Amino acid sequence: MPSKSHTWYQKHTSDPYVKRAQKEGYRSRAVYKLLEIQEKDRLIKPGMTLVDLGSAPGGWSQVAVKLVGKKGRAIALDILPMDPIEGVEFIQGDFREEAILVQLLATLQETPVDIIISDLAPNISGMAVVDIPRSIYLAELALELAQQVLKPKGTLVMKVFQGEGFEGLLKSLRTQFTKVVSRKPAASKSKSKELYLVSTGYKGS
Ligand SMILES: C[S@@+](CC[C@H](N)C(=O)[O-])C[C@H]1O[C@@H](n2cnc3c(N)ncnc32)[C@H](O)[C@@H]1O
């Protein structure tokens, strides 16, 4: 019987998005999720200041830095290392730690942020009771960051796993943003509980 990791490797390498990412020079298949959201909602624009949370290996950052252009700014953060991308300022650290938040705020130097994109996902244990609360917690932290740095009318895009705590988060987003919609891009596996909440029109703190 093939081992679990062998089966995963076979599935991964035969995934059309993995193949396409390799062909098109992107670091992750996740890039096609952001590209689909961008095509639909046109959120990232030239000149914007953008924060990319959970950025490694860097697919979203590759796209984001191009979209904000030379007049914009892209700051990426991940607990894992990330190979440099020209024009992207990278912070390595655990977003749950206060010291990393302080580092991010220092990097921003009080520049108001136009958009936060978060693909943060916990290490998947396979147990929903563990994974969903961890995902919701990371999303809540992303929302807290938004409350500190986002411009009025700013945007927050974040991955969230559906389950306990999801409705509460959604309610909170709806009070703080003019519009909240969910997106399930084609590259997001149908059996995965993840979806992306796109919140626009931040009302300000
Ligand atoms: C789905 S991957 C992101 C893929 C990325 N958007 C791309 O296109 O390459 C999720 C990322 O969240 C990061 N992550 C999870 N928990 C984190 C934490 N507490 N602090 C910082 N990064 C975290 C993981 O290390 C992982 O790289």
Residue 53 CA to ligand 1 centre (angstroms): 7
Residue 61 CA: distances (Å) to CA of 84, 86, 145, 189: 10, 10, 18, 21
Which positions ≥6 away from 154 have C-beta within 8 Å? 112, 113, 114, 115, 116, 146, 202
Residue 129 Cβ < 6 Å to ligand 1: no
Residue 159 Cβ < 6 Å to ligand 1: no
Domains of the chain: 28-202 (3.40.50.150)
Integer Cα distance of 175 and 172 in angstroms:
5
SS (H, E, C) 91-149: EECCCCCHHHHHHHHHHHCCCCEEEEEECCCCCCCCCHHHHHHHHHHHHHHHHHHHHHH
* Mean per-residue pLDDT over the chain, rounded: 95
Residue 48 backbone class (left: φ over 0; alpha: ψ -120 to 50; beta: rest): beta
Q: Give me the pLDDT at residue 4, please.
A: 66
Q: Give me the pLDDT at residue 78, please.
A: 98
Integer Cα distance of 161 and 7 in angstroms:
24
Q: Give me the pLDDT at residue 2, please.
A: 65
What's the mean pLDDT in 4-21? 82
Strands 177-183 and 194-202: antiparallel
Read off the pLDDT band of 59 (50, 70, 90). very high
| pLDDT exceeds cutoff 90 at 95 | yes
Q: Which has more confidence, 45 or 192?
A: 45
What's the mean pLDDT in 121-137? 92
Read off the pLDDT band of 7 (50, 70, 90). confident
For ligand 1, what atom is nearest to the CA of residue 95?
A: 20
Residue 1 CA to ligand 1 centre (angstroms): 32
Residue 80 CA to ligand 1 centre (angstroms): 7
Given ligand 1 and candidates 82, 95, 120, which is best to mutate, with the most ligand atoms within 8 Å of its CB?
A: 120
Residue positions annotated with a catalytic role = 159
| pLDDT exceeds cutoff 80 at 3 | no
Residue 119 Cβ < 6 Å to ligand 1: yes
